[in-house]
Amino acid sequence: MINPFHYAFKVKDLASTRAFYMDILGCKEGRSTDTWVDFDLFGNQLSAHLGSVEPLDFCGQVDGVSVPIPHFGCLLSPVQFSSLATRMEQANVEFIIKPQRRYQGKRGQQQTMFVLDFSGNPLEFKSFDDAAEVF
């Protein structure tokens, strides 16, 4: 069993943050105040706090593709990945990196996609073909 993680991050406002994480990603809201809100992201605790979001830096190179660093996200089952990709496409979420297969034919083969939340925070969602190759 993998323990759930907790991640606290900055957002520009709570209304658009709720719209993205609840309406698009399907998160349930947990506790909140007028300056932060917790979400359940596939069993993990996200804490969105009002603040100034850092500009994007595409300094990461993964399988020949520039990715934003830092970023956060989740490892999903293939069914969850496909369902989430479809939900984001239907909501007209703009992908930084469209759903694609990475490391084709190699150890660690996976599906991946990157999006920005409505505050500009980059998120990656991925699904491994073989869960034993996550690490």
Find out whether 101 and 108 touch, Cβ atoms under 8 Å. Answer: no
What CATH number is attached to the domain comprising 43? 3.30.720.120
43 with 74, same domain: the answer is no
**What 8-state DSSP symbol labels residue 14?**
H
pLDDT at 135: 87
DSSP bridge pairs for 111: 101, 127
38 lies in the same domain as 20: yes
Span 45-51, average pLDDT = 97
**Parent domain of 123:** 60-133
**Where do the DSSP E strands lie in 68-120?**
72-75, 95-102, 110-116
Number of domains observed in the structure of the chain? 2
Local confidence band at 2 (pLDDT 50, 70, 90 cut-offs)? confident
Hey, CA dihedral for 80, 5, 62, 16, is it positive or negative? positive
**Residue 54: pLDDT over 90:** no
Residues 46 and 69 in one domain: no
Confidence of residue 41 (pLDDT cuts 50, 70, 90): very high
Distance of CA 31 to the CA centre of its chain: 20
pLDDT tens digits, residue range 81-116?
Answer: 999 999 999 999 999 999 999 999 999 999 999 999
A 10 A CB-CB count for 115 gives 23
Provide the token pair at 42.
Answer: 């596939």
Going by their DSSP bridges, the two strands 122-128 and 6-11 should be labelled as: unpaired
Asked whether residue 70 falls in the same domain as residue 117, the answer is: yes
Averaged pLDDT of the chain: 94
Q: Is 117 exposed, middle or buried (0-12, 13-18, 19+ CB in 10 A)?
A: buried
If asked whether residues 73 and 122 sit together in one domain, one would say yes
